[in-house]
Chain A
């Protein structure tokens, strides 16, 4: 993967940055670029760094940490196979395994949902969330990041103040109430009434779409575009609609076929 020397993924352990092979200076620049271009998405979160067999000194790790924190994200763990790298990470007070730190990052916790999500091992994640719910219930709401490549299915109604933040696609079976927020790296699909705030393609993808059985968001963002609900529009649309960016504007069209 020559273009993916820096890979940013959401996993059950939260955000993970994987560093590929190549010159560290190049990687640092690329990492900075990737993080800053998607700054609003990652800000306030924390991230683990996967370095593979690479040997890194304390100074090099510090440089990586600074690049990451400059973009509003904090580095909490360095996972690598090299003993010298592990020692350097420990010297900086960073974790070197996921297991000793089960609590997911505040920005990327699982939803406190009791509904089973089949086919997913959620033991460590859920136990971490319960611990977190004790201390910060309001914000624990519904932030998650799992299996970015696939997207996430949310089988419940999102209520005011609840936020879904996910690097991939987001599918909601239920309503998205006013005051709720979905921020997705990919597309957003709501099988229900969408009345909250949605940002699709939040990492800058203008090609993302938002569709809902009843599309009436307070505000809709796709990539770098923003649209708000027309003032004074009464009632909800009765047909499913899909919103996309066309000629630099967000347009909603009937969602058919």
Chain B
């Protein structure tokens, strides 16, 4: 079966596109899928850092597009998982170094050798976004439960509908259960009410993400944490399995205390 090309995008920056891409790549690879992640944020590359592969980069996507190297040479193999690869962005160039047609071509070259191609889109709705979206078969929109992030997600959904990329699916990232409970944060239903697209995952705020990002060890390598588990659930849903949405535990409530007690 040819690879599914999935673009992860959001409009707003800082909502967790790169984290989601890295973790979904890891989770899918752990499930036996052959995965390539592509960093489409040329000039501001991050995915390599989050995946802990920064020091292995020799060539990047601009080199591939410009014919400096072959695609195979630019793919960085993950140090932990045999079937996970990264196609890094160039750091010294900008978004105009690659066009939508180039992205489509690069993805076409990978169709037969992999199961999933995950594209980490840059923030914004300009050239970088257009590059990232051009080859996509499917789109995942990442948002956080904030009014501004939801507004941008709505804009992006509108643009994707115009591109006829099929229905986009939503990941709500960084939900804080205690804040939702106090009524200080939008909850899932508030977000869904505006965006009205299929939900594919809810990821709780998890300090482990910050630690893992800094260390270059995606949380999805370990399924004991809440965020890691959430990304695994999304990976299962991408593979067509019907996984119930986890109830995000309010760690300050009784259940939370109980759970922590058991774990320690």
A residues sitting closer than 8 Å to B (CB atoms) are: 112, 114, 133, 137-138, 140-141, 157-162, 175, 177-179, 195
Contacts and interface: CB of A to CB of B under 8 A. Distances in A.
B162 A160 contact: no
Interface stretch (B151-159, B217-225, B248-256): B151-159
Interface in B112-138: 125, 130
A160 B196 contact: no
Nearest to B194: A177
Contacts of B155: 159-161, 179
Interface in B7-30: none
A141 B158 CA distance: 8
26 contacts: A112-B161, A112-B162, A114-B164, A133-B163, A137-B159, A137-B162, A137-B163, A138-B125, A138-B159, A140-B162, A141-B158, A141-B159, A158-B158, A159-B154, A159-B155, A159-B157, A159-B161, A160-B152, A160-B155, A160-B158, A161-B158, A161-B159, A175-B196, A177-B154, A177-B194, A178-B151
A162 B164 CA distance: 15
B162 A157 contact: no
A133 B154 CA distance: 19
Interface size class of B (residues with CB under 8 A): 10 to 19
Given A137-B130, A140-B162, A141-B158, 18 more contacts: A112-B164, A114-B164, A133-B163, A137-B163, A141-B159, A141-B162, A160-B151, A160-B152, A161-B155, A161-B159, A162-B158, A175-B194, A175-B196, A177-B154, A178-B154, A179-B151, A179-B154, A179-B155
Contacts of A112: 161-162, 164
Contact of B194 (A137, A161, A162, A178): A178
Interface string B187-206: 00000001010000000000
What DSSP secondary structure best describes chain A's contact surface?
loop
Contacts of A157: 196
Contacts of A177: 154, 194
A159 B163 contact: no
Contacts of B159: 137-138, 141, 161
Contacts of B164: 112, 114
Nearest to B154: A160
Determine which residue in B162, B163, B194 has the highest number of CB atoms from chain A within 10 A of its CB, and name it: B162
Contacts of B154: 159-161, 177-179
A165 to B, nearest CB: 16
Determine which residue in B152, B159, B164 has the highest number of CB atoms from chain A within 10 A of its CB, and name it: B159
A162 B154 CA distance: 10
Nearest to B125: A138
Interface in B75-133: 125, 130
Nearest to B152: A160
A158 B154 CA distance: 9
A136 B196 CA distance: 25
Contacts of A178: 151, 154, 194
Nearest to B196: A157
A178 B149 CA distance: 12
A72 B237 CA distance: 51
Interface in B138-169: 151-152, 154-155, 157-159, 161-164
A33 B130 CA distance: 42
Interface string B21-61: 00000000000000000000000000000000000000000
